[in-house]
């Protein structure tokens, strides 16, 4: 690990370091949310509002973080959330983050809109891999993605259902980050004033969304493919569509984007293997309930029948402990590790994951929790 990374002590330190390294438009593309960013802010404050009531006189010499996440053994109740366009932060950032996750024994979720293909990721990383699927109107294309993930050995399918349309991200519009990407005078100036980033982009080239290359005959590189894909999301996907996906995918099926208890209960009745509580990191529907606020109702509605993953707002190891206490099986992180990769590639991502796991161990000791499996609602003050 580069020596200078020792000086970065938490996820926010990496966020600020990434702010300095990246052009403003790229940093805000990663950091920002939709419209007034109400949900983006609430995702953090919802975790911050929760309090732990520590237990005492408990042997916490060796906290046990081992967790089974939908049949995938993990060294901690933590995994990497799917993220698209990661290469804008660092060349081959998808692979860098996945390798960092594998080194720490936690699953990595590859996005449909990643800049690394399903097959190339499977060849490059020796660790647990999940695949996140967006739903396109062309059912044959969805089926092809599912088949590719199955053949490549992905252990779980994460079906994202909260993207019927793209959110209105006003920071991106103001910064000229539009689809397709157009090189403006502002972006040229940003490249000149951030030479390390510009040189890395020149070396790696513009992102190519390899999983959707060729979709609707879109062979060009960069964000043009993302634009065409976004225009073809299936806004009509419903319960019947879910049943079709269930038939196509024989492995573990997790539905991501769940915020309402009634939906959670029905998903369990429909036979899904897991739920992923998420508001897409505040990047889609502004004003949506914070994930940590939605979690208790979903836990109550499902009564422990299926594992539950939560994302959106996870920045500390303590957040992971709070999520477990509220009934989640595991917490997922996205922006935090991407900022780590933006600072120092695989080493930076690994440092962020290590910090989160170390914070969780420390929180367990101080809260009197010897095994993460013992973290439950009695911990909440």
Kindly list the catalytic residues: 280
- Cα 278 to the chain's mean position, in Å? 9
Task: Judge contact between 341 and 95, C-beta under 8 A.
Answer: no
Q: What share of the chain is helix, strand, coil (3-state, %, to 5)?
A: 50, 10, 40
The answer to whether 309 and 330 have CB atoms below 8 angstroms apart is yes
The conformation of residue 232, written as its DSSP 8-state character, comes to T
Closest C-alpha among 7, 10, 71, 58 to residue 337: 10
- For 340, list phi and psi in degrees, rounded to 5: -60, -45
> CB atoms < 10 A from the CB of 1, how many?
12
Distance of alpha carbon 267 from alpha carbon 162, whole angstroms: 14
Give Cα separations from 334 to 215, 250, 364 (angstroms).
26, 27, 23
Q: Distance between CA atoms of 330 and 311, rounded to whole angstroms?
A: 9
Nearest of 292, 315, 314 to residue 16 by alpha carbon: 315
The position carrying tokens 């707002």 is 313
* Helix residue ranges, H only, 22-92: 24-31, 38-49
What's the Rg (C-alpha) of the chain?
20
Q: What angle do CA 89, 95, 97 make, to 5 degrees?
A: 65
Neighbours of 188 (CB within 10 A): 11
CA dist 298 and 317 (Å) reads 22
Distance of CA 245 to the CA centre of its chain: 21
């Amino acid at each position: 690990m580069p020596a200078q990374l020792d000086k970065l002590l938490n996820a926010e330190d990496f966020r600020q370091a990434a702010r300095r390294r990246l052009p403003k438009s790229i940093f805000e593309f990663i950091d920002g949310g939709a419209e007034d960013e109400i949900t983006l802010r609430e995702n953090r404050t919802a975790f911050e509002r929760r309090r732990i009531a520590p237990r005492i006189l408990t042997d916490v010499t060796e906290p046990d973080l081992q967790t089974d996440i939908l049949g995938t053994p993990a060294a901690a109740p933590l995994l990497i959330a799917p993220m698209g366009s990661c290469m804008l932060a660092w060349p081959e950032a998808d692979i860098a983050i996945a390798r960092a996750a594998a080194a720490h024994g936690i699953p990595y979720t590859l996005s449909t809109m990643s800049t690394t293909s399903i097959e190339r990721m499977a060849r490059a990383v020796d660790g647990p891999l999940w695949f996140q699927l967006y739903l396109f109107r062309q059912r044959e294309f969805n089926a092809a993605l599912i088949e590719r993930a199955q053949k490549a050995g992905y252990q779980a399918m994460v079906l994202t259902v909260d993207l019927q349309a793209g959110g209105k991200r006003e920071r991106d519009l103001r910064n000229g980050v539009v689809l397709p990407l157009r090189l403006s005078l502002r972006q040229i100036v940003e490249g000149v004033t951030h030479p390390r980033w510009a040189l890395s982009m020149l070396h790696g080239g513009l992102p190519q969304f390899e999983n959707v290359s060729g979709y609707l005959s879109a062979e060009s590189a960069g964000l043009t493919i993302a634009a065409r894909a976004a225009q073809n999301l299936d806004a009509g996907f419903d319960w019947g569509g879910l049943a079709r996906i269930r038939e196509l995918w024989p492995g573990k099926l997790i539905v991501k984007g769940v915020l309402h208890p009634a939906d959670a209960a029905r998903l369990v009745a429909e036979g899904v293997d897991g739920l992923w509580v998420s508001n897409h990191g505040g990047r889609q529907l502004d004003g949506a309930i914070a994930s940590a606020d939605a979690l208790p109702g979903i836990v109550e509605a499902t009564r422990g029948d299926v594992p539950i993953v939560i994302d959106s707002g996870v920045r500390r190891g303590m957040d992971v402990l709070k999520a477990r206490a509220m009934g989640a099986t595991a917490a997922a992180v996205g922006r935090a590790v991407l900022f780590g990769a933006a600072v120092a590639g695989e080493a930076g991502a690994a440092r962020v994951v290590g910090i989160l796991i170390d914070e969780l161990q420390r929180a367990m000791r101080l809260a009197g929790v010897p095994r993460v499996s013992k973290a439950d609602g009695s911990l909440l003050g």
